[in-house]
Each structure stands twice: as C-alpha cells, then as structure tokens.
Structure 1
Amino acid sequence: MLPLQEGDNIIGRRCAGTVIDIPIETGDMSMDRRHCIINVKRNKQGEIIYILRDAPSLTGTFLKNELLRDKDRIRIYDGDVVTIGATTFMICTM
C-alpha cells in the first residue's frame, strides 16, 4: 500500500541520499530513484482525482501497458495498473 498525500507524490526506488515521497524498497534497478509522480487534488465538486505522469525516467512509466509520453498527464482510477521499471502496482482509491 502506497499512501498518497494531496499534491505531488514522487514515487521511485529507495536509495540513500535521494529524497522522495514514496520510496519503494526493491532490487529493481530498472526503476529510477524518481520514476513517476501521482498528483492528488480535489475538483470543484470535491471529488478526489489522481493524475499520473512520468518523472521523467529512463525506462518510462506505463499505464495499462501503454507508455506515457513526456508531456502526458493522465487521470487514473481505482483498479488501474501502473508499471515502473519491472515493478507493477494497482491503484486502490479507498
């Protein structure tokens, strides 16, 4: 479970000396230390929305097996599958 806060949440491989919001303990060297960002905000109706973008990373960020382009800012939903490096996780918006 990766707890997200309102605003930008930088996700990547845990490494001493690298400050990120969501450090993932992994041996996956294809995951960058700063790999992707999930922005959490409320829309005008008060609904929480999640926006995914690449950090940028060397190997890219994939949403449902589709590579995000550099300028992509994609809304993600409960159950969406994200892959960074060789690591895949599912979005759970409980």
Structure 2
Amino acid sequence: MNTYMIRRRSAWKTASELEMAADRSKRVGNEEMPDRVRWIRSYVVEEEDGQLGTVCIYQAVDTGALREHAERAGLQADEITPIAQTVVVRKDPAEGG
C-alpha cells in the first residue's frame, strides 16, 4: 500500500457532523474495503469560513480506492496527494498539550 494525504476543505459545520462522517469512514474502510484502504489519522482544521476541514493520512492500493472509499462514505476528497516520505521531528502532541 502507498501513503496519501487527503484534504477535505470546509466539509462540516459542526463537530457532531464531523464525528458522524468519521464513523461512516471507519465503517467503510474497516468492513467494506479493509484490503484496499486504511485510515491512519486526521488533523481537524478550522477553515477561514469558520467550518471544519481535515488533513487525513491514509494508506491505499491507489487513488481510485481512496475516491471509491470517499464516495461510499459520503465524503469529499478535494485533493489526494501521494506522500513520498515521512519525517518525524516530534511525536504528535497529546490532546490539550
């Protein structure tokens, strides 16, 4: 599998909308496409328009699988970018830290 970054811009108005989308995404990935798509992590960002967006890290067999996953889960996928390499300077900070 290859690693990709998916940008979903201004996709949700509220945190509860985002949570429902995350539940759908997990279900589709884990139950319907486990051998083709793996959700690794997401960073929730506050967009300039006040809505919520995400920067998501996925592993997948190809971009077609990611687009299929997004469609099945009812998610947008504004940008899908292959990740060439990961450089970790520090671990992600703990919540509230």
Alignment TM-score, normalising by the size of structure 2: 0.30
Structure of larger gyration radius: 2
TM-score by length of 1: 0.31
Higher relative contact order (CA 8 A, sep 6+): 2
